[in-house]
Amino acid sequence: MREYKAEIVAVGTELLLGQIANTNAQWLSQQLALYGINVYNHAVVGDNLERVEEAFTLAQKRSDIIIVTGGLGPTEDDLTREAFQLISGMEMEEHKDSMDKIKLFFTNQKREMTPNNRKQARIFKGCTVLVNNAGMAPGMKMELDGRIWFFLPGVPREMKQIAADGVIPYINELTGNKQMIKSLVLKFIGIGESTLEHTLKDLIQAQSNPTIAPLAQENNVVIRLTAKEASEDRLDALLKNTKLKILDRVGDYFFGEDDQVIEQVVVDLLKKRSMTLAAAESLTGGMFTEKIVSVDGASEICPGGIVCYDTAIKRDVLGVSGKTIQSKGTVSKECALEMADQVTKLFGSQVGISFTGVAGPKEIEGEPVGKVFIAIRDVKGYQQVESFLFTGNRNTIRKRACLKGLEMIYNYLK
C-alpha cells in the first residue's frame, strides 16, 4: 500500500497568540492515524495573505494530503481561499446551495445579512463541495498537481462534522482501510528519562513495529508505543507484547497508561484498600491535597488536610511538640514524622503524609533552599521519612515535593 504523507495547516492569528489551543490538528491526526495515514507536519499560520501562501506552497511541495482548517469566514482576515488561489490559479464562484442556506439563516434570525457573508459561499470551480450541516461555510476537496487538498472551517464542531462526513470516507476509500495506526502510552514515576532509555537501549535500537519513544513530561516519564497493523486485534497483540518486555525491566516504576495521572491511581488504590489519607503541608501549601481532591470521588478517601505554614500552627493547631520544634527545628525528619502522625490523629485517617522544607528564596534554620522532608505514618505503626534536595525556583521546588509525595504514597500503597 502506498504511504501517504499528510499535513495539517491551521490558519488563524488567535492560534499563534495562544488565545485558543489547536485542538483541530490533534483530533484530525488521531482520525487519520486510524486509517494508517502518517501526519508528518503541523503548521500554524496567522491571518496574513503572504504567509498563508508561503505555508500552502510548502505543503504542496512536501505532502500528499493537505487539510486546512480556518480562514473560510466572512471577514477580511479570512484569507484561505485567496491564498490557495494564488498558488493554484483556480477560479472561484458562488455556490448557490450554500448561499441559499446563508440567506435562510438570516431570514430565520430576522437579521439583515451583510454583504461580506456572501464570501462564505465562495468555492473553487470544479471542487467537491463538502456540506456544512453545523454552520455556514462549506468545506471543499480538490486536487492540485497530484496533491489532495481539503478545506474545512476552523470552528471545531463544524470541522468535525465535515471531516466525519466528507474527509474520513474519502481517506477510507483511498487506503482501503488496510492498515491502522494505534499508540499506547506507558507512564512511569521515580525514574529519569535517561535512566529509562539506558535500561531499554537494546529494545529501542531494535524497534520496528511497534516503535518505542521515551518522552519526558512535566510530572513523569512516558514511553509511547506506536504500532501499524491491518486489524485492531493484531495491533493490540503487538502493543501488549512490547509492553510486557518493557515492564519486565522497569515495571517497578510503572503506574498507568494513556490518560491516567498519578493522583488518580493513588485515589483508586486508597479506595480499593478502604483507606483514608490526610496531609499536613508546610512548604507545599495545600498543593498535595488539591491534587488529591481534583480526582472524582476523592471525598471517599480524603477527610481533609491542614496547611501549617507557620511554626505556631504546627505547634498549636496540628500538635507538633514544642520540644521537637525547639531541638530539631521545623525543617527536620523529626518534625516531618510528627506532622504525619498528628494529621492522622487530627482527621481520623488511616494514613497521613507531611511536607516540610525550604522553598526559598533564602535558607531556613541553616537548611538550604530546596531541602525538603516528606514523611508517611499510618495507624498500624508504619513510618517512612525521606529527605530531598530539589533544584529550581520556589514554585518548581513545591511542585517537585508534591510529585515526590504522590510517588511515595503510591509506592506505600502498592
Count of beta carbons in the 10 Å neighbourhood of residue 69: 30
Got the DSSP string for 303-358?
-EEEE--SHHHIIIII---HHHHHHH-SSSHHHHHHHHHHHHHHHT-SEEEEEEE-
Count of beta carbons in the 10 Å neighbourhood of residue 319: 16
Q: What pLDDT, on a 0 to 100 scale, did the predictor assign at position 77?
A: 86
Q: What pLDDT, on a 0 to 100 scale, did the predictor assign at position 206?
A: 85
pLDDT tens digits in sequence order for the chain, 414 residues long? 578 899 999 999 999 999 999 999 999 998 888 788 889 999 999 999 999 999 999 999 999 999 999 999 888 889 999 999 999 999 999 999 999 999 998 888 888 899 899 999 999 999 999 999 888 899 999 999 999 999 999 999 999 999 989 998 888 888 775 667 788 999 999 998 889 999 999 998 888 889 898 877 777 889 989 888 878 888 999 999 999 999 999 999 999 998 899 999 999 999 999 999 999 999 999 999 999 999 999 999 999 999 999 999 999 999 999 999 999 999 999 999 999 999 999 999 999 999 999 999 999 999 999 999 999 999 999 999 999 999 999 999 999 999 999 999 999 999
Q: What pLDDT, on a 0 to 100 scale, did the predictor assign at position 211?
A: 87
Q: What is the chain's alpha carbon radius of gyration, rounded to the nearest angstrom? A: 28
Check residue 380 and report its DSSP letter.
T
Domain definitions of the chain by residue range:
5-175, 180-257, 262-413
Q: What pLDDT, on a 0 to 100 scale, did the predictor assign at position 375?
A: 98
- Per-residue pLDDT tens digits for 295-327: 999 999 999 999 999 999 999 999 999 999 999
| pTM, two decimal places | 0.67
15 closest CA partner among 136, 154, 151, 138: 154
What span, in angstroms and rounded, lies between the C-alpha atoms of 313 and 311? 5
What are the grid coordinates assigned to 320, written together? 507538633
The neighbouring-strand residues paired with 223 are: 186, 214
**Max CA separation in the chain (angstroms):** 86
For domain 262-413, is the CATH number 3.90.950.20? yes
Count of beta carbons in the 10 Å neighbourhood of residue 321: 15
For domain 180-257, is the CATH number 3.20.20.80? no
What are the grid coordinates assigned to 278, written together? 490526610
Place of cell 529527605: 387
Positive/negative CA dihedral, 406, 411, 412, 414: positive
What span, in angstroms and rounded, lies between the C-alpha atoms of 137 and 364? 63
Count of positions (residues) in the chain: 414
Got the DSSP string for 258-304?
TT--HHHHHHHHHHHTT--EEEEESTTTTHHHHHHHTSTTGGGT--E
| CA contacts within 13 A on the Cβ side of 399 | 9
Sheet containing strand 5-11, strands side by side: 38-45, 5-11, 65-69, 147-152, 139-144, 128-130
What span, in angstroms and rounded, lies between the C-alpha atoms of 99 and 96? 5
Q: Are 92 and 123 in contact (CB under 8 A)?
A: yes
Got the DSSP string for 2-25?
PPPEEEEEEE-HHHHTTSS--HHH
The C-alpha torsion from 165 through 151 and 9 to 89, rounded to 10°, is 150
Query: What CATH number should be reported for the domain whose range is 5-175?
Result: 3.40.980.10
Residue 305 dihedral angles phi and psi, to the nearest 5°: -160, 175
What span, in angstroms and rounded, lies between the C-alpha atoms of 16 and 70? 13
